[in-house]
Amino acid sequence: MIEKKQMDELFAQAQKIAGMAYAPYSKFRVGAALLCEDGKIITGVNVENRSFGLTVCAERNAVGTAVALGQKRFLALAVSTPDSEEPVGPCGACRQVLSEFMPPDASVRFAGKGSIVNTTIGTLYPMDSLHELKD
């Protein structure tokens, strides 16, 4: 788990980048920020497409950017959904991808306009039997 101050900064980055999301169809912007093992913060946004199945989530965009920059281990994730009253956590596909690069105790924060959820990737993606195969 990381310190509250670090998580607050990470979430601020997610909130800021959410404004750059491409969401002309749903009007549901998402910003994600990953804290890499070396302290770098990598962000991503959701990018919609007329074919909703081709939409890419903010979390997976952040992971893809991070991997392209040589980052493969993340200590924390923050997700901001400024168009939602309630907190919206990562979808199932994002949870699967995140579990590839984050230990079960990695911090996760997500929030909309209202309440904030602080949890871990292990809580969001329990019984990750494939995680043991990675090593």
- In whole angstroms, how large is the CA radius of gyration of the chain? 14
Which H helix or E strand runs over 42?
strand 41-45
The pLDDT tens digits of the residues spanning 47-60 come to 999 998 899 999 99
- Residue 48 catalytic? no
- Report the predicted TM-score, pTM, of the whole model to 2 decimal places: 0.93
For the chain, 135 residues long, the average pLDDT of each consecutive 10-residue run is 94 98 97 97 97 94 98 98 96 95 96 94 85 60
Total domains, the chain: 1
CATH number of the domain within which 67 lies? 3.40.140.10
Catalytic one of 37, 59, 85, 100: 59
Length of the chain: 135
Tracing tokens 């999301």 back to the chain, one arrives at 21
Per the structure, the complete domain to which residue 130 belongs is given by 4-134
